[in-house]
Amino acid sequence: MQTLGLALMGTGRMAHVYGPKIGAHPGLRLEVIYNPRITSAARVADQYGGRAMDDLDAVLADPAVDAVVIATPTDTHVDYIEAAARAGKPIYCEKPLDQSLDRVDRALATLDSHPVPFMLGFNRRFDPDNSALRMAVQNRGIGRLNMLMSWSREPSPPPIEYIRASGGYFVDATIHDIDLLCWIAGERPVEVMAAGSCMFDPRIGIEGDFDMTMTTLKMASGVLVHINNSRSCAYGFDQRLEAFGDEGMVQTLNQRDDNLVRWDKTRTAAREPLKHFFLERYEQSFYNALDEFHAAVTGERAPSATAQDGRAALAIALACAQSAKSGQAVALEFK
Amino acid sequence: MQTLGLALMGTGRMAHVYGPKIGAHPGLRLEVIYNPRITSAARVADQYGGRAMDDLDAVLADPAVDAVVIATPTDTHVDYIEAAARAGKPIYCEKPLDQSLDRVDRALATLDSHPVPFMLGFNRRFDPDNSALRMAVQNRGIGRLNMLMSWSREPSPPPIEYIRASGGYFVDATIHDIDLLCWIAGERPVEVMAAGSCMFDPRIGIEGDFDMTMTTLKMASGVLVHINNSRSCAYGFDQRLEAFGDEGMVQTLNQRDDNLVRWDKTRTAAREPLKHFFLERYEQSFYNALDEFHAAVTGERAPSATAQDGRAALAIALACAQSAKSGQAVALEFK
Amino acid sequence: MQTLGLALMGTGRMAHVYGPKIGAHPGLRLEVIYNPRITSAARVADQYGGRAMDDLDAVLADPAVDAVVIATPTDTHVDYIEAAARAGKPIYCEKPLDQSLDRVDRALATLDSHPVPFMLGFNRRFDPDNSALRMAVQNRGIGRLNMLMSWSREPSPPPIEYIRASGGYFVDATIHDIDLLCWIAGERPVEVMAAGSCMFDPRIGIEGDFDMTMTTLKMASGVLVHINNSRSCAYGFDQRLEAFGDEGMVQTLNQRDDNLVRWDKTRTAAREPLKHFFLERYEQSFYNALDEFHAAVTGERAPSATAQDGRAALAIALACAQSAKSGQAVALEFK
Amino acid sequence: MQTLGLALMGTGRMAHVYGPKIGAHPGLRLEVIYNPRITSAARVADQYGGRAMDDLDAVLADPAVDAVVIATPTDTHVDYIEAAARAGKPIYCEKPLDQSLDRVDRALATLDSHPVPFMLGFNRRFDPDNSALRMAVQNRGIGRLNMLMSWSREPSPPPIEYIRASGGYFVDATIHDIDLLCWIAGERPVEVMAAGSCMFDPRIGIEGDFDMTMTTLKMASGVLVHINNSRSCAYGFDQRLEAFGDEGMVQTLNQRDDNLVRWDKTRTAAREPLKHFFLERYEQSFYNALDEFHAAVTGERAPSATAQDGRAALAIALACAQSAKSGQAVALEFK
């Protein structure tokens, strides 16, 4: 297996997700940790290896850097994408592309004029259960698909600073379900309707955001989609899918740390709590996504989650946000 | 237990549901079967007992008739309600009250001026699992309620004649979920959004109706509600509820005819098919509803499903239909 | 349906099980309550109807008594069987026939010389789930049967007086599993091995009995059977079966009062406690057993649980007791 | 982490289990592949790395060999143990130690006189679910342990040559359950009773062996244990545990390749087939066992599965075999 040297752009939460996984991947090498503040880069390099660098041009000119992984704050993604594309470096970019469609379109234009392998970090596509469900749907294991449902309820609300920078619940979180469900259905919506409330953390409401939403997508074929999101969930990170077709249904069950069943005076046939949050629940998906990126950079196959997928998911998420604010359905059109 | 003589109005599908159950109830007696066509009434009377009658005035004047059960075609409910109320007879009326709010208001006005015990046949409230879930919610077993979900997927589409007379999917079927969920939540929506498709039976689409819908209700408190309806379901009559609160979740499981689990080469831990349709799944609920009606007529307690509940459910269902056609949210206000 | 007048012999625990169910059965009438102490008989007659009588000869001579239900203490069963058989009255007898094979053989001889319809109260055969599992086995839904397992764990130990009169755990309780499993397998054991401990209630050990046993039956065909019994069970009345064949497995699940699933901080996907004890768990089986007895008395079909079945189950249970005491296997032979 | 050089003794089935896992372990290095036939050793060395050697003395004298992993045919285990112990090399030995207690005692004596870290490959102890269940028992999550049950049903019978060399079903397979259950219970049996049949593969019966057994262990404390074994299982590799205590029960569920649930016309809530066999089901346990061995060799902690454990499991398995042949219980005593 060809070993690729990667520059990890950014030193925040997602950098700590990718850093150790790149190090453990047999075909990847953590070559550079980049942050404009060299001390931040050095701290992460100490932890996971790689050279700390603070000079973007030097990183992108470095012949040991075969590709970049962008895990910086969302509002810097487009700048790094453009710089890397111009430098001819393949790109793995954490979702979302950006919170603004205009800026996303700018990035798409740059990628058009400077084509490099590009993969968006919609890691949930790479989860074994999610992709097994998609396979069952695509193989017509349930006949023709008619309805899709997704639950994504987080264990507890993030800090209010995170909310402020998040672009709103739909763009920050629902966008994952949107991408996953469009990918499973094999099509995109012509209309969205969304409703939101703030029931768990009043500070989120003060920011003008929701902490609980229900979203309906109506696909071109007539398939109906429901997305169920919550910023809080007492029993853990609730992640479920349900695909309903004319010959049956297939669901994914929540995953747990063990396969024990407990019986006592008050509860019978009980299972242990769910996996805590996305790092635990989707750990394998990040490894699989890096496999996919390796294959994309080495030219084995085209990356499955494209920049156009990222644009579409953002456009849908923004339409959901608009619908939830206005109380009106929003029509969408995709070429 | 005081025995009440009942006049069963109507000889159609629902009359065959109520007839034998009235006969088996220790406190009820099937006194009269009424149909303007005496031969129809006679056929049902032969089957379940009671005297066949075709003269409405005579039925309502009959001293052996303590109360009436209206199981006639929907568009005649209001006429029979008014006649029975004027005659001072307690009324059990199959849902929906009517398909028109104007006519429902006329019935409500008559019930106001001629007050008699009145109970609407929202039988799903009387299902043991549904009411156990409501109890869990009301007892704050999940903390504060935040989201409610209901699945009601029927095994196969009804005849097209039924569709034509049904008032549309929302008024015919979703109305059950609407009533049940408002009853569980203890409140009514301020806004509804609905989307529908016709994917199973194109003849339903030709009639301008849907055979598959997703409905969102936003309650006054902020609680969000999802209703998932389908006119077809390969694996039986899928009936589920999910209540999500800030301290946990409670769900109802589908019921089956036995408690066997099967393991073979292709499937493991498999359960048998679901109960076929509403007669099998909700059989007990009809008995329980008749208990409640008995208690209402004998004055033990006020009936729990009132004419006002029926009006509210109809108003919400009509708003759903309007939203699904227009693609726009519809605001609602209840006094 | 022909209505049969029954004499209920006995006024103890099982009389309170059968009394109300006979009263509710459309083809049975509680004609007589018999107890040598007329005050006991009168108390039960007040509760469930029927005439209190204390004269056995008069009961058996009474033309309104079409059949007898023997629910007296075990050591009197044989006497009542003989008296009823001589009087030509059909007999339903609660299990076990007796604790002594000699006395059972005496009863069998009397039934041979005075043949009357005779049915033994092995009610678990009449449980819908147990008989559905048997049907699956007999229909070769799992191919050829290879292993059978039964769990019967009671919620809490009975009073020590009950233990003293019970004939020991195997004769009192395991006998139910033995009969059920022989009936499902369609054959009887050639060898039994049993082991017992006293872990829950030391008073049971002082009586020389066990409160926890594991029993192995080896059937003539080679089928192996495991029976798992306990006098105590923290989570309710645990009743399970497992049939393993060369093409698959079928199991019965424990039954519960509702179909709710609960999720909270500490337990997920939890079900409510099990049905409390045999009255709740096997309620339906007693009704079904009375149906069978009705059919036996009216000559519609031969009773399915015969006196010979009762003798076989007792012989096997006694062999289990012997094996558990001696620590040695016991061979059995059935004609 | 200190890296240990290992000599893998043997090139058969279990060598192919350990070879790649040693290679992937961060603290282990596959230094030598040993087989008296150098061509066999070379083939495996080509596959997984390491130097092929056929000279035992040279292997044991090699300073780069820090420890040996014995994965040779069972009847050679003792010879290799003795040679390695005399050479002062720490030993990981695949189970069983041997099929003869005399030879095992010879090995134990050698280990006494030449003490080296020694670990027996009872890999099921290192399975995450099995050890989570043990933890629940030891932490008194079910109160005091009263009963233990283990199911181990293999997907299909091994070749008849394997059967012939296996030492019989109890010594080959039941020994795994015996070790696991004694480890969970924290004690050993005072009496065993076993019954066996040959129902799946008549060739196994011709060899005088069973393909289906039920075993009862009675522990010193009174705890009762059931072991359920089959050489064939239509629905996969059935691996379950059940621990029953005075305050509750804990069970392990079978593991599957995905968390999908499927609903169609004939089966509802069905899960996919089980993991195929021990390589798939217990993959993680082998990695964890190698971790434990690493810790044992580096002196971090004493190995948890000792040679004495191996002797005890063999003694119990042999007693089971004797009981199943004689139809009599066998008493056991452990110092």
End-to-end, the C-alpha distance of chain A in Å comes to: 38
Mean pLDDT of chain D: 96
Six-digit token pair at A36? Answer: 């404009």
Integer angstrom CA distances of residue A300 from A31, A81, A295, C232: 22, 22, 5, 63
Q: Work out the minimum CA distance from A273 to partner chain C, whole angstroms.
A: 6
Average pLDDT, 10 consecutive residues per value, chain C (335 residues): 94 94 94 97 96 97 98 96 98 95 97 97 97 96 97 97 94 97 98 97 96 98 98 97 98 96 95 93 96 95 92 97 95 90
Q: How many CA atoms lie within 13 A of C187 on its CB side?
A: 20
For residue B193, give the nearest of A212, A216, A248 by CB distance. A216
Quick: pLDDT tens for A121-148: 999 999 999 999 999 999 989 999 999 9
Six-digit token pair at A24? Answer: 């453990």
DSSP-derived 3-state class of residue B280: helix
B253 to C263: CB separation less than 8 angstroms, yes or no: no
What ranges make up the beta strands (E) of B205-319?
A: 212-219, 224-230, 238-245, 248-252, 260-263, 270-271
Interface with chain D: mutation pick from A264, A272, A284, highest number of D CBs within 10 Å = A264
Interface with chain C: mutation pick from A153, A240, A259, A263, highest number of C CBs within 10 Å = A263
| B257 vs D contacts (CB less than 8 Å) | none
Confidence at residue A1, expressed as pLDDT on a 0 to 100 scale: 79
| D249 vs C contacts (CB less than 8 Å) | 234-235, 238
A232 to B246: CB separation less than 8 angstroms, yes or no: yes
The C-alpha atoms of residue B96 and residue B108 are separated, in whole angstroms, by: 13
Which residue type occupies B318?
L
C250 to B261: CB separation less than 8 angstroms, yes or no: yes
Place D254 in a pLDDT band, splitting at 50, 70 and 90: very high
Quick: pLDDT tens for A248-281: 999 999 999 999 999 999 999 999 989 999 999 9
pLDDT at B1 over 90: no
C232 to D246: CB separation less than 8 angstroms, yes or no: yes
Give me the phi and psi of C63, to 5 degrees please. Answer: -65, -20
A191 to B327: CB separation less than 8 angstroms, yes or no: yes
C235 to D228: CB separation less than 8 angstroms, yes or no: no
Least confident span in A249-253, B43-47, B236-240, D299-303: D299-303
Q: Work out the minimum CA distance from C294 to partner chain B, whole angstroms.
A: 21
For residue C200, give the nearest of D212, D246, D248 by CB distance. D246
Interface with chain C: mutation pick from B259, B265, B272, highest number of C CBs within 10 Å = B259
pLDDT at B60 over 80: yes
Place D335 in a pLDDT band, splitting at 50, 70 and 90: confident
Interface with chain B: mutation pick from A140, A142, A147, highest number of B CBs within 10 Å = A147
C199 in Cβ contact with D146 (< 8 Å):
yes
Averaged over D274-283, what is the pLDDT? 94
Confidence at residue A304, expressed as pLDDT on a 0 to 100 scale: 84
Q: Which chains touch A (3+ CB pairs under 8 A)? A: B, C, D
- Which residues from D are below 8 Å from B when comparing CB atoms? 234-236, 254, 256, 262-274
Nearest CA in chain A to C271: A268
A2 in Cβ contact with A298 (< 8 Å):
yes
Interface with chain B: mutation pick from C264, C268, C282, C288, highest number of B CBs within 10 Å = C264
Domains and their CATH numbers in chain A: 4-116 (3.40.50.720), 128-286+312-331 (3.30.360.10)
Quick: pLDDT tens for C73-91: 999 999 999 999 999 999 9
> For residue B186, is it left (φ>0), alpha (ψ between -120 and 50) or beta?
left
Averaged over D229-233, what is the pLDDT? 98
Burial of D7 (0-12, 13-18, 19+ CB in 10 A): buried
> For residue C4, is it left (φ>0), alpha (ψ between -120 and 50) or beta?
beta
* pTM (2 d.p.): 0.95
| C196 vs D contacts (CB less than 8 Å) | 224
End-to-end, the C-alpha distance of chain C in Å comes to: 38
D133 to A260: CB separation less than 8 angstroms, yes or no: yes
Mean pLDDT of chain C: 96
- Which residues from C are below 8 Å from A when comparing CB atoms? 234-236, 254, 256, 262-274
For residue C268, give the nearest of A264, A268, A274 by CB distance. A274
Integer angstrom CA distances of residue D271 from A139, B242, D274, D275, D284: 17, 22, 9, 12, 22
Confidence at residue D21, expressed as pLDDT on a 0 to 100 scale: 95
pLDDT beneath 70, residues of chain A: none
For residue C261, give the nearest of B250, B255, B260 by CB distance. B250
Six-digit token pair at A192? Answer: 């969205």
For residue B251, give the nearest of C248, C251, C260 by CB distance. C260
For residue C216, give the nearest of D153, D195, D225 by CB distance. D195
Lateral strand order in the sheet of D67-70: D51-53, D28-34, D4-9, D67-70, D91-94, D118-121
Confidence at residue D304, expressed as pLDDT on a 0 to 100 scale: 84
For residue A261, give the nearest of D250, D264, D265 by CB distance. D250
Q: Which chains touch D (3+ CB pairs under 8 A)? A: A, B, C
A38 in Cβ contact with A96 (< 8 Å):
no
Residue appearing with tokens 């763009």:
A171
Q: Work out the minimum CA distance from A198 to partner chain D, whole angstroms.
A: 32
**β-pairing verdict for C118-121 and D248-252:** unpaired
Nearest CA in chain C to A256: C268
Averaged over D47-63, what is the pLDDT? 97
B198 to A222: CB separation less than 8 angstroms, yes or no: yes
Nearest CA in chain D to A254: D259
Q: Work out the minimum CA distance from B268 to partner chain D, whole angstroms.
A: 5
Query: C-alpha angle D113/D116/D121, rounded to 5°?
Result: 120
For residue B264, give the nearest of D234, D264, D268 by CB distance. D234
From the list D197, D193, D217, D194, the residue with the least C-alpha distance to D209 is: D197
| C134 vs B contacts (CB less than 8 Å) | none
The C-alpha atoms of residue C292 and residue C300 are separated, in whole angstroms, by: 9
Quick: pLDDT tens for B290-325: 999 999 999 999 988 999 999 999 999 999 999 999
Quick: pLDDT tens for B254-265: 999 999 999 999
Chain centre distance of CA B164: 19
Dihedral angle sign, alpha carbons of residues D26, D32, D35, D40: positive
Integer angstrom CA distances of residue B59 from A322, B33, B83, B89: 58, 9, 11, 10
Averaged over B277-296, what is the pLDDT? 95
Mean pLDDT of chain B: 96
> For residue B328, is it left (φ>0), alpha (ψ between -120 and 50) or beta?
beta
| C128 vs B contacts (CB less than 8 Å) | 258
| C195 vs D contacts (CB less than 8 Å) | 191, 193, 216, 218, 224
- Give the DSSP letter of residue B143: B
| C193 vs D contacts (CB less than 8 Å) | 193, 195, 216, 327, 329
Interface with chain B: mutation pick from C134, C237, C240, C259, highest number of B CBs within 10 Å = C259
Q: Which chains touch C (3+ CB pairs under 8 A)? A: A, B, D
| C244 vs D contacts (CB less than 8 Å) | 153, 230, 233
